[in-house]
């Protein structure tokens, strides 16, 4: 593996590590914050996923270490998930479910890129990216199932048209 590729992979692993921690932070907060009639199931799913995303962060940290990189500290972590922030207006299940699907979709794209970059040069990093990709696809699937149900209800109530359904885009 060239030095250039090693640095690129470390960079992608660090970005993924940061995103996993941010995801864990937001899932933790929503696993407590969420209100509403059907909130309990989603809160439990999010609480369970906090542990999974933290486990992902640990695996990424170990891979960064093996490749000779530095696992970032808190001051070096990026924050990007504007779509999962608690606010007065956005406290509903719909908002959270859409936000979770967006977070998972973003992780999926990142792990696809990481797997592609590592292919042929770093099988262990590629293997890790593929394993995490499968987990995130499962998370996305679980939450798009719920999103579909929410949006079908919105359509039935005349608050949304078939074309506006977000679940169709994932």
Confirm if 17 and 61 have CB atoms less than 8 A apart.
yes
Does 22 bind Fe ion (CB under 5 A)? Our answer is: no
DSSP 18-62: HHHHHHHHHHHHHHHH--STTHHHHHHHHHHHHHHHHHHHHHHHH
Nearer to Fe ion, 54 or 160 (CB): 54
Enclosing H/E stretch for 3: helix 3-33
Closer to Fe ion by Cβ: residue 26 or 117: 26
Nearer to Fe ion, 98 or 139 (CB): 139
The binding track of 147-166 with respect to Fe ion, each residue x by CB under 5 A or -, is --------------------
Interface with Fe ion (CB under 5 A), residue from 43, 139, 144, 167:
139
Q: Coil, helix or strand for 95?
A: helix
- The footprint of Fe ion on residues 30-69 (CB under 5 A) is 53, 56
Judged by the rule CB under 5 A, the positions of this chain that interact with Fe ion are 20, 53, 56, 136, 139
């Amino acid at each position: 593996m060239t030095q250039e590729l090693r640095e690129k992979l470390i960079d992608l692993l660090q970005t993924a590590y940061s995103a996993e921690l941010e995801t864990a932070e937001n899932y933790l907060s929503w696993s407590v914050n969420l209100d509403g009639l059907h909130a309990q199931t989603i809160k439990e799913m999010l609480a369970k996923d906090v542990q999974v995303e933290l486990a992902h962060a640990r695996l990424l940290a170990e891979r960064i270490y093996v490749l000779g990189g530095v696992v970032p500290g808190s001051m070096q972590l990026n924050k990007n998930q504007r779509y999962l922030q608690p606010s007065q207006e956005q406290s509903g299940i719909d908002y959270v479910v859409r936000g979770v699907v967006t977070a998972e979709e973003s992780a999926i794209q990142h792990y696809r890129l990481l797997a592609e970059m590592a292919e042929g040069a770093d099988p262990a990093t590629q293997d890790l990216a593929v394993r995490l990709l499968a987990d995130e696809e499962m998370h996305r699937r679980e939450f798009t199932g719920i999103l579909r149900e929410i949006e079908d209800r919105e359509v039935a109530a005349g608050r949304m048209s078939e074309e506006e359904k977000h679940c169709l885009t994932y």
